[in-house]
Amino acid sequence: MLSIIDAILLGLVEGITEFLPISSTGHLVLLASMLGLDQPADVRQATDALLIVIQGGAILAVLGLYRTSVKRMCRGLLGSDPQGLRLARNIVIAFLPAAILGPLLDDTIEAHLFTTGPVLGALAVGGVLMLFIHHFTPNGNPDKSAFDLTIKAALLIGLLQCLAMWPGTSRSMVTIVGGMLLGLSAMRAAEFSFLLGLPTLGGACVYKLGKNLLHDGPNMFEVLGVVPILVGTLVAAVSAAIAIKWLVGFLNTHGLAAFGWYRIALAVVLGALVAGGVVSIGPGTAGTADQSVAVAATG
C-alpha cells in the first residue's frame, strides 16, 4: 500500500516536472528509488503505471488554465469558430505521429532505451540543445500563436514529439524547441506544448491504465490503494497548474538557458548516483513518465 505522504511527493514531482523541459524521468527515477518503490516487482510495476495515470492531474490543470482555448476548439468543431477549428486541427495533426508509433514501439523502447546510458545521454544532449537554441535562435514573433501554425508546421512538431519516446528527452522540451524553430516565441511554443499535452497525456493515461488493469496479476489499485492514487492525482493537478503559470512567465523574460544548464547538472548528479549504486535505471523501473504515448508516458 502506498502511503499518503509518498503519493503527495509523487504528485508534486510529476506535476512540477511534467511541463517543464527538464525531463520528468530523471526526477522520478530518483524519487522512486528514494521511496523504495522500485522493488519488489509487483510494486515497481504498479508504481510505473501510477506515474502515468496521475498525469490525469496535469490534464486537469491544462483544461482549467486554457479553458478559453479548449472552448474555442469545441466551438470550432461545431462550426462556429474558424480559428478554434484551426487550432483543433493543429493539435490533432501534431498528436497523430505519437499516437500511431506509440503503441507499436512501447515495449521495444522500454526494453532497449530505458537504461543508464541512453537516459543520461538524452538529459545531457537535451541540455546542450536548449543552450544552443537559446543563444542562436532568433526570438520568435510574440504575436504568432498556435492558431497561426500551418498543417506542415503542426506535423513537424508532432514528429519532433516522437523523439520524447526516448526516455530522458522530455516531451515539453522537444515540442517547445520545435515551436521556436518554426517561428513561435518560447512562451507561445510552451502554450502549444501544453495544449498538445491534452491528447498525448490523455492517450498515455488511457493506454497505460488499460494495460495495467488487463495484465495478469494484481493491478495498481490493488497494490497501491485507491485513496493514495486519487491524492497523488489531485496534488499533480495543483502543482502542474502552478508550474505552468510560472513557466510561461519565466520563458517570457529569461528563455531556455536555465533549463539547459539544469538538465546537464541533473545528468551529472544522476550519473554519479547510478555509479555509486544508489539509483538504478532499467526496464520496468518506476519512472518512465517522460516518454510520449509510445511508452505510455510523456514529459
Up-side HSE of residue 74: CA atoms within 13 Å toward CB? 7
Banded model confidence at residue 283, pLDDT cuts 50, 70, 90: low
Residue 184 φ then ψ, to 5°: -85, 150
- Give the integer Cα–Cα distance in Å for 106 and 48: 13
pLDDT surpasses 50 at 139? yes
- Give the integer Cα–Cα distance in Å for 222 and 63: 29
- Give the integer Cα–Cα distance in Å for 110 and 288: 8
For residue 23, what pLDDT is reported? 79
Cell digits of residue 95: 498528436
Task: Give me the percent of the chain exceeding a pLDDT of 90.
Answer: 55
- Give the integer Cα–Cα distance in Å for 229 and 12: 13
For residue 287, what pLDDT is reported? 38
Average pLDDT, the chain: 87
For residue 286, what pLDDT is reported? 39
Q: What is the arithmetic mean of pLDDT over 42-61?
A: 88
> Shortest CA distance to 286 belongs to which of 22, 20, 49?
49
pLDDT surpasses 60 at 226? yes
For residue 113, what pLDDT is reported? 78
> In 182-229, at which residue ranges do the beta strands (DSSP E only) sit?
none
101-118: pLDDT as tens digits: 887 887 787 777 778 888
For residue 92, what pLDDT is reported? 96
For residue 72, what pLDDT is reported? 96
Banded model confidence at residue 282, pLDDT cuts 50, 70, 90: low
DSSP 148: G
Banded model confidence at residue 88, pLDDT cuts 50, 70, 90: very high
For residue 289, what pLDDT is reported? 36
Banded model confidence at residue 11, pLDDT cuts 50, 70, 90: very high
- How many Å is the Cα radius of gyration of the chain? 18
175-212: pLDDT as tens digits: 999 999 999 999 999 999 999 999 998 988 888 899 88
> In the chain, at which residue ranges do the beta strands (DSSP E only) sit?
none
> Of residues 22 and 295, which shows the higher confidence score?
22
User: Using CA atoms in the order 184, 293, 127, 263, what is the torsion angle rounded to 10 degrees?
Assistant: 120
- Give the integer Cα–Cα distance in Å for 225 and 232: 11
For residue 151, what pLDDT is reported? 96
Task: Give me the percent of the chain exceeding a pLDDT of 70.
Answer: 93
Strand partners, 184: 141
For residue 294, what pLDDT is reported? 30
114-135: pLDDT as tens digits: 788 888 999 999 999 999 998 8
